[in-house]
Amino acid sequence: MSNVFYRSAKPYPVAVRAEGVFLWDDAGRRFLDGSSGALVANVGHGRAEVAAVMAEQAGRLAFAHGSQFSSDVLEDYAAHLARFLELPTHRLWAVSGGSEANESAIKLARQYHVERGEPERYKVVTRVPSYHGASLGALAASGMGARRELYTPLIREDAWPKLARPDPALRGEADAERLRAVLEAAGPETVAAFLCEPVVGASDAALAPNPGYHARAAEICREYGALFIADEVMCGMGRCGAPLAVQLGGAVTPDLVVLGKGLAAGYAPLAGVMASAEVYGAVMNGSGAFKHGFTYAGHPVSVAAGRVVLDILEREELVAAARERGAQLLAGLRDLQARHPQVLEARGHGLLLALVLGDPATGTAYPAPGVAERVARVAKERGLLTYPGSGAVDGTRGDHLLLGPPLSISADEVSQMLEILDAALGEAL
Ligand SMILES: Cc1ncc(COP(=O)(O)O)c(C=O)c1O
């Protein structure tokens, strides 16, 4: 027997090795990582350069507690990250995962308003569908029925007013105007922030609003005194073909940017919040301390991994690669759509792409979920890893498959992905 508490009752192959876009299990089977795990392995697997830097860091300074020290590696990384993201005066609050980062952003927004003398602001407006994490605060913020419903007795719903998903039929600015009505209904003087995924990931199949949405949403937030928070845990760090996905539809500077996943690309647990100078100043010039913290925050080995991953991203021009290989993959997915009527839509930005699956007879979602899981299972049997999801329609109905290989994938490997997907769709549907 195993002593491992698995994520589900299904059987799991045992991974033993990974390199580039491939992982191998203990039976010697090879899997093409078509989803970078869960959109994590942005620079590909098995980079000796990253391992060497982490080993050096672990030998020199493995840990220094954030209540006692900053570290040279953290100072250096924060400066590089701020430059890469073109957020020169934002400050990095480094943590270990996307959920921790969103918890931090939510609490920071709350404290910011209290410091400024507006203690009545606590609500955080988010969208349906959305996914911001598994911890209770981040889950309360999420609009994802399937992952949330078990825990609703623990959630105070009035604290999390919900905005409808972006409407592709509307101009971005008009679409964002719908935020105004949600703020008005919630009582704008009680709202601390609006939190959204610029390109929605797990919950809504790489859906993005039209250009102009985020800039207008940020303006509305400013008008009402709320912070604008971009959750770029999945869509950020170049994955969508720009350092930040929020910039795809026009220039905008969020008050807080939440990062994770691709930040250290799976080499170590690393996530973070980039907070504006205004927010940082309000806290430090007010009570003088962020009333929040995690033991492993800013872990030197994780931060060292993030630093070298960022070097690789820049040196190998992987943000541009995400645009090029993303265009190739999207074109191939559109070909699959033409051949498989159960593929209702192929969409996304850069290398955050998705197939929306549904009933060709009605052109809408299947009555019950499970189809995306089936396609993913067959694709995995054929040696391709994908990230299946459900619930984009109403939290339950709606099947989709996220595709997001490492940004370092080659043109030939993209073709291999498409061949396996084609066969898997044919077999599973
Ligand atoms: C947009 C977004 N935010 C937050 C999270 C939570 O991150 P983590 O699983 O690292 O806690 C995820 C995870 O899928 C995500 O996609």
Determine how many CB atoms are found less than 10 A away from the CB of residue 117. 7
Q: Reduced to 3 states, what is the DSSP secondary structure of residue 153?
A: helix
Q: Of all protein residues, whose CA lies closest to atom 3 belonging to ligand 1?
A: 132
Q: What CATH number matches the domain at 49-315, 1.10.10.10, 3.40.47.10, 1.20.1050.10, 3.40.640.10?
A: 3.40.640.10
Q: Of all protein residues, whose CA lies closest to atom 7 belonging to ligand 1?
A: 98
Amino acid at 356: V
User: Contact, 274 vs 85, CB < 8 A?
Assistant: yes
Binding pocket residue ranges, ligand 1, CB within 6 Å: 38, 97-99, 102, 131-134, 197, 201-202, 231, 233-234, 260, 271
Closest CA to 388 of 201, 240, 232: 201
Give residues with Cβ within 8 angstroms of 20, minimum separation 6.
Answer: 44, 45, 46, 406, 408
List of E strands, 3-104: 15-19, 22-25, 30-33, 91-95
The number of angstroms, rounded, from the C-alpha of 243 to the middle of its chain's C-alpha atoms is 13
How are beta strands 15-19 and 22-25 bridged, if at all? antiparallel
Question: Number of C-alpha atoms within 13 angstroms, CB side, residue 149?
Answer: 6
User: Contact, 228 vs 218, CB < 8 A?
Assistant: yes
β-partners of residue 272 are 94, 259
Q: How far, in Å, from the CA of 381 to the mean position of ligand 1?
A: 26
Q: Which residues of the chain have pLDDT under 50?
A: none
Taking the domains of the chain in order of start, what are their residue ranges? 15-46+317-428, 49-315
Q: What confidence tens digit (pLDDT) does each residue in 294-339 have?
A: 999 999 999 999 999 999 999 999 999 999 999 999 999 999 999 9
Q: What confidence tens digit (pLDDT) does each residue in 97-152 have?
A: 999 999 999 999 999 999 999 999 999 999 999 999 999 999 999 998 888 999 99
**With a threshold of 0.75, does the pTM exceed it?**
yes
Residues 418 and 182: their CA atoms lie apart, in Å, by: 41
pLDDT score at 91: 98
CATH class, domain 15-46+317-428, is alpha beta
Determine how many CB atoms are found less than 10 A away from the CB of residue 398. 25
Which residue shows structure tokens 């929605």? 200
